[in-house]
Structure 1
Amino acid sequence: MSIRVLTLRIEQELDVVASRQRARQIAALCGFNAQDQARIATAVSELARNVYSYAGNGRVEFAVEGTTSPQLLVIRIEDKGPGIPHLDLVLSGRYQSRTGMGMGIIGARRLMDQFDIQTATDQGAGTGTGTAVGTSTGTTITLKKLLPHDAPLLTAASVGEMSAQFAALAADVSVAEVQQQNKELLATLAELKTRQDELMQLTRELEDTNRGVVALYAELDEKADHLRRADEMKTRFLSNMSHEFRTPLSSIRALTRLLLERVDGELTPEQEKQVRFILKGAESLTELVDDLLDLAKIEAGKIDVRAAPFEVNDMFSALRGMLRPLLVSSTVELLFDEPEGPITMMTDEAKVSQILRNFISNALKFTEAGHVRVSATLLPKGDAVRFEVADTGIGIAPEHQQLIFEEFSQVENRLQHRVKGTGLGLPLCRRLANLLGGSVSLRSAPGAGSTFSATIPLLHDDMPQPHVLRPDAPDAAGIPVLVVEDDRSTQLLYRSYLRNTGYRVIAARSVWEAEQAWAVERPAAIILDLYLNGGDSWRWLARIKDDEHRKHVPVIIASEVADRQKAFSLGADAYFSKPVARDELLAQLNTLCHQERPS
């Protein structure tokens, strides 16, 4: 449902000022903060100025869409002017008006959540200045912005009360002053954008730290699982060995006692002496078995390689957050060089991360000042990645470089008194690299620092080409459909719906996971739930439908929330209320995907 708030005519310069003032007042009454009020007022006044300058007259209409929170503020600017013959050039940001700032349309587009422009001109005739003339339907621009979550719900009655609260317009404000105010506002917004970038940088650092914590938890879970399996094998070993050793020893002791008690007849003194020796030996052997079983340290099971796809950049982010607490000295800096392009590996991320952690912690221990730099390079053949950890530490003499890769071996140096270790870190790195099909190496010189390298294959040898999708494999081929749904049972329902239909499900439980999945593979269609883990996906829908590269992908809303009008206003292509019927969903997918991917 749409509730009209106000309509303004634009016929003179003062009307441009009026449109700005009314836009700010309406934005304030809708619950927008000061920054958003400035954004909305600036966008409206710039577009109203264009209407007055190029079309002569037009109108601005304000309305509110939706009956549930968050509602949608819709602003429509219309004129019957000559249209815009160079619209593509304007939207690309390369056009600058000779009579204005050249930022009216492109600036308004950036300031709002959603922007749509419809214009038509008669291209059959033109002037010497390149301006098309002829019959025209004019230009219609629609701006949309979601109201804040905490904004009061607007009804027809509350909108009616707005009219009484509008302040009278000032009569001494010129268009030139409004343009100057816009310039100041744009400068203020640029400063706010800079501060926002700083906050985003802090947010990324916090995310890196969180990734490090998550990685630590994952490693702890893996260690706990390993210890659990080791404990199970130890229990099994102890049970078996106790039975195998103690049963015959118990029999020997029982038989010797029978003999010593003369159950089967008398023994000679020599026989009794021999039997007592047997009993004593059996008792000593029993004690020895008990001691060996109590003191045995069982290292159970073989090490499994759990290969899975991961991004090197994400692993670096986790390492950056995990190892930051090790930087106790302000004279040493830990640097991560991001790869030139995205590198996706299919191997055991935990073991690669463990190799790098050992390299980095070892470098930090023996570097008093300077930096420790971590980098990753895809080898020319494209089949392996070389990870390097370079430091500016004390270095290692050539005759000791092989020694440090031996178990329990350490090189004596002047930092040895404050740096303790077991001598197992680097040997472990070499074994882990060999397990992954790679190798480690070292370049170093005393006083010149060290560079530890690990060359790891991009694809683990035991993995049968996981990136190659075989057409005969289930779910390996088909039209990709991105299902953004946080409920696992509903995800399974969609999988069963699309099985053996020519479609393939790409599951995501949040907007963030959906963005990651989209970066890997572009979907042909999207099935979107509006509320994910307590948050809504309205803004994500508006964002993808305002993206030139993604707005053509059809979006099917499947939600328990009945708000069809808002969904269609933001660009949704279809709307279903849960539960969704299989036949209806497939029919809609067939229609939309046929339009999206013509044969």
Structure 2
Amino acid sequence: MTDLRRLTSLLIQAETDVVMCRQCAKQIAGWLGLPTLDQIRLATAVSELARNIYQYAGSGTFHFYLDRDPLGKAAGIMFEAIDQGPGIAELQDILNGSYISPTGMGVGLLGARRLLEHWTIETGPTGTRIRAGKAVHPPLPFPDDRKIEGLRRTLASAGLADPFIALQEQGSELLLTASELESKQRELEATNLELETTNKGVVALYSELEKTAHELTAASESKSRFFSNMTHEFRTPINIIENISKLLLNGTDGHLNPEQLKQVGFISAAAGELAEMVNELLDLAEAESGRMEVVASAFPLETFVEQLRQFTAALALRYPRLTWEVIPLEHPVVLETDRNRLFQIMRNLISNAFKYTPEGSVTVRVFQPSEKTIELVVEDTGVGISEDNLGRIFEEFARVRMPGLTQVQGNGLGLPLAQRLAVLLHGEIRVRSVPGQGSQFSVDIARRLHEEDDDDLRSLSLEGLTVLIIDDNDGDRYLLRHLLEPYKPLIIEAASAGDSIDKLHAVRPDIIFLDLELPDIYGADLLESMDWAMHARVLINTAKPLEEAERLALASQCAGVLLKGQPNYTDSVLRQLRQLSGSFRDAH
């Protein structure tokens, strides 16, 4: 309270003074135009505090004020309740609601505090002083001296309060409050009903979103299967076109005239581009579906950099206006990752750098940011990429138009594939670019691929999941069971397709290892007989040598293909399990 104008003061010495104090508070609140319920709240709080003074201190004083805010408006009704009593014991317990008194002392104090916005209290052996009040929302114009004097005269002429009339007034106020509470209760019930209805809608929306997510996942898998199957089918006619074109260009069956050579050259070049796109589509489909395997091997970084140098030198022959440089790491480092996939990434990035640099330079640098990572950077001084297009370059089939470059070849698959391959190598591709000045693509990958795999496998848990092993070979079943037991799945075995049927339908396993060469039916036929939801849980586990066509066809219908007896068989099994168990838990 900083700028207060006193309105009136009252002595509390008798029961009637308590009633007077209540009426005075209500009159002031009504004079200011506060709503009826706010008038009742203020009067009730004042009445409780005045009664406490009378009952526990014997006597005291009430001072009523009008509070002025910094803008000069009436912001609240304030009062001071002062007595010279023995003070209030256990004050903190009273105010936090934990104090229990056989006489009821403290209940009025706590109730008054809850009815008011402003509240401070000082108490001790020499007495108690309470400063409190109720805010006015919004603040009102501050009354002038004439209006305040008129209020004072009205309060002074109120005379001695009649307790019986006051009791009747309190009864009416109680009825009004009860009616208001009943109205609020109805509003609360209506709100609760609306919230319940909304809640049901939210639940239904979540259900619809979950269904849509499953449909999108299925659509993505269908797209990957389509790409895998169709691009594989494209390979044969493309190979025929390429080979026949070469025969014609070489003049095997007779020489062509210059115009025919030109036309066949166009056919051969187009077939080569189509073959490259088919290969990238196959790789992209496998990477998206998680079926692309990466085979780590140890090799010196310097030999890989030399491979990049040779590739860049051969590529630069097509771009005589460009200079290039490959800068190796100064100290020897051994990588343990998939060399072919890493080269595939760098080949795409270096090719792009040349394509989008009409003149200037292309530089390949190698860094080692830490003991566990390697960074390969491809920089160019080409046309650059605008801020708006940076987010699009990793989208499939996205072709960003560059000013001044109309003859750039490509299908928009190179960068998306490179990014997915980088993720498979436990890394990422970052890009910085300034239009007109050039671009910088940075590839960060793990130096040891399986070091991170080992960390993930140590946290692998199959607890709560059911694994069905369908294999007629006792030794193979034993090997898988022995490999899986540390991860605590429930393992079920079947030695034939017939033995597995009841388990497939009764248990619906979470993960299924399926051998192809079963005694009663071919494993692929058993897979075909399962409903499609089960296909995503099946890992083909076979020792049969598979042609590329059959392997791709099988891979498009299940979660993965494992080849028994391969050097990395155990790691492949655990990696597939990590992926399958993770996706299964996410789905649930």
TM range, smaller chain: 0.3 to 0.5
Give the TM-score of the pair, scaled to structure 2: 0.35
Q: Which has the higher helix share?
A: 2
